[in-house]
Structure 1
Amino acid sequence: MKPEAKNETQEMHRVEMTIGTILRWGVIVAAAIMIVGLLFYLVDGSLGVASNYHVQNFHQLLQGLIAGKPYAIMMVGIFALILTPVLRVVVSIYSFYREHDRLYVIITSLVLLILLTSFVLGIEFQL
């Protein structure tokens, strides 16, 4: 095996390990946040908001988080869980860029653009 091919194999292995670590820690952090929110709920006995209440923006989420409302804490956990695969896409773009694989950089960048667009549209249509 040529030294260049060996370096590429090692680089790919390192990137795969990084992606695996991101996914693993993203799920662990999101689960931990959700458990904290659940514990707050069990101690308080309520979610801290009226039934049929939905957070409309990040400002309301931040206010609920500062107030220690279980609903807001659990929403942050869900948000962290949603961001985990988005971070994976970002790392993949970097990986493909390092490999000089322009086609996959473009495709993965389009996937990221679609994800971000869906988040923005989801926020706009919710209001």
Structure 2
Amino acid sequence: MEKKVDRDLMLEKENEELRAMELIISKALTIGITTSAIVIFIGLLMLIITGNSGYPHGFYPTSPVEILKGFISLKPYAVILTGLLLLILTPVFRVAVSIITFLHEKDYLYTAITTLVFIILIISFILGKVE
């Protein structure tokens, strides 16, 4: 009887930890998507109000550094692109939060798997940038 009670308590604790992990990941995704949507909307409003992208005709920033410089200068097109970068980085942020969460839960197998996924994502960004 005591073994069943101990097992039930252990399962309940695991379920609570799983719910807490899912809540953390859900908040990370919500924050990322909301932030990117707000930034894109602000850039779009700037573009509509000014009628100008902030760049000479035919020039488009293509590197993250150029985009961030344009964002700091409040160029509407760069603000929109910054929002898109945030949207692209949201799943990467989710993977990073998952690594931390799995470490906190002391689930080392999932920590290793998630870390491998994170490394693959970073490598894909680096290789995608190489021309």
TM bucket, shorter chain: 0.7 to 0.9
Percent of pairs identical after alignment?
37
Aligned residues: 125
Q: Deviations along 1:86-109, whole A, 9 cap, x unmatched?
A: 111112222333444333222211
Matches within 5 A, 1:1-127: 2-125=8-131
- Which secondary structure state, in structure 1, belongs to the residue aligned with residue 12 of structure 2? helix
Unpaired runs of 5+ in structure 2? 1-6
Cα distance in 1 for residues equivalent to 2:117 and 2:42: 32
1:53 CA drift (Å): 2.8
- Which secondary structure state, in structure 2, belongs to the residue aligned with residue 83 of structure 1? helix
TM-score normalised to the size of structure 1? 0.85
1:41 CA drift (Å): 0.1
Cα distance in 1 for residues equivalent to 2:115 and 2:122: 10
Unpaired runs of 5+ in structure 1? none
Cα distance in 1 for residues equivalent to 2:9 and 2:74: 55
Q: Deviations along 1:21-70, whole A, 9 cap, x unmatched?
A: 11112111100000000000001102122344332433322321122111
Q: Does the C-alpha gap of structure 1 residues 94 and 26 become closer, same or farther in structure 2, counting only changes over 3 Å?
A: same
Task: Note if contact 2:68-2:82 (Cα within 8 Å) is conserved in structure 1.
Answer: no
Aligned-residue Cα RMSD (Å) equals 1.8
TM-score normalised to the size of structure 2? 0.83
Give the 4+ runs in structure 1 shifted more than 4 A.
Answer: none
Max radius of gyration: which structure? 2
Cα distance in 2 for residues equivalent to 1:30 and 1:60: 18
